[in-house]
Amino acid sequence: MQRRAAAAYFVLFMVISAGAYAYLGMAEQPQIDVPGETYAVDDELTVGDQTYTVDSISNGSGSLTWGTSDARYTATLANNSTVSWQAVSWEDQRIDSTTLENGTTVEFDGSDHQVLTNVSADPPTMRLVNTTNRSMVSTVERGGTVTLAVDGQPYLDATLTDVTAQDATLRWGSDYLVTIPNETGVDPTTASLIQQQNVTRILGMDTDVRGTLGTNPDGSQFVEFENGTQVLLSEYLPDPEVETLEEGGTLQYQGNETTIGNITTAEVPLEWRGPKTFTRSLSEGSSVELNNETYFVHFPSDSTVKILENTTENYEAYQSDQNKIDKYNERKAGLWAVVIISLLAGLILLATAYLPVRD
């Protein structure tokens, strides 16, 4: 009798659990339905005189981009700081270079290698293929540095700056020290870029001298030629290059023609104008300011977005649909609880009823 009653209750709990589960399957989740145009990635929208492009959409977030061709950029050269020869340039700047034709044989890493350029790579590369074992290949990307020799002439820490199908160009130079006059009561109007000579490189690339410096008893250093001649280092080295910067003048900086601003004892300000891209992040249910106007964001799917006027009507319609979704999720969680509790209750009741009875 006890077991028959337990079985009946078990069936009842299973019916309750199955009914709740079936209702879960039939219930449709409400959706947010607000009026407005839908945009996908790469679509454009215009607000006033500004055009925006949908740049990305993913998991309830995304971004817009827009650009201008006349953005203001600034940079500073601090006093006593160093700047790379690749960052600044001017007419007749003292930069050395050599061009290696495609197929040229060079000495690299102690053995002969063939130069092969690859313009289809990104960035373009210069490949150095060992002539004895062609499976040994070293690759230098544009902007990278390499040390090699051509016909006995060494090139130390040269930068690969240009790659074409016909040849590769290596350049090398020295850093510059930013120097600003600091006279009491005098507002500086000029500054200097003074070449910092790389003695190690200069000696290493001069095949007529030995690669190390000697020191005289008085502490002065000298360079010794292969024929035994000794010359003071100060006499051996060429005069360092000096470029003068003046307020209102121009300087090529990182590929941009910049205007030199008001020089102080601390720094040299640079300014230039050019194109720039801006990004504005989007997130579900948030507001976003576009061209000084506020808009409301909704993602109907993982690949679309709506950007609506941030009016009271749109916000209330969105919030009403969101409340419906919240209530649906609460009821869904409650039904899952019914399913699980009913199933567990039925199993426990049935298992308890069939426990052995002690006489």
In a domain, 261, yes or no: no
The confidence score (pLDDT) of residue 209 equals 94
Burial 2-22 (b: 16+ CB within 10 A, else e): eeeebeeebeebbebbeebbe
In a domain, 289, yes or no: no
In a domain, 14, yes or no: no
Q: How many other β-carbons are positioned within 10 Å of the β-carbon of residue 77?
A: 23
In a domain, 227, yes or no: yes
Residue 188: both structure tokens together: 């500086």
- pLDDT means per 10 residues, the chain with 359 residues, are 62 64 61 77 92 92 92 97 97 95 96 97 96 96 96 96 97 97 88 96 93 92 93 95 97 97 97 94 88 87 86 68 65 68 69 63
The confidence score (pLDDT) of residue 35 equals 75
Which residues constitute the domain of residue 225?
A: 210-237
The confidence score (pLDDT) of residue 66 equals 94
Provide the number of structural domains found in the chain.
1
In a domain, 160, yes or no: no
The confidence score (pLDDT) of residue 54 equals 94
In a domain, 226, yes or no: yes
In a domain, 82, yes or no: no
The confidence score (pLDDT) of residue 271 equals 98
In a domain, 175, yes or no: no
The confidence score (pLDDT) of residue 340 equals 78
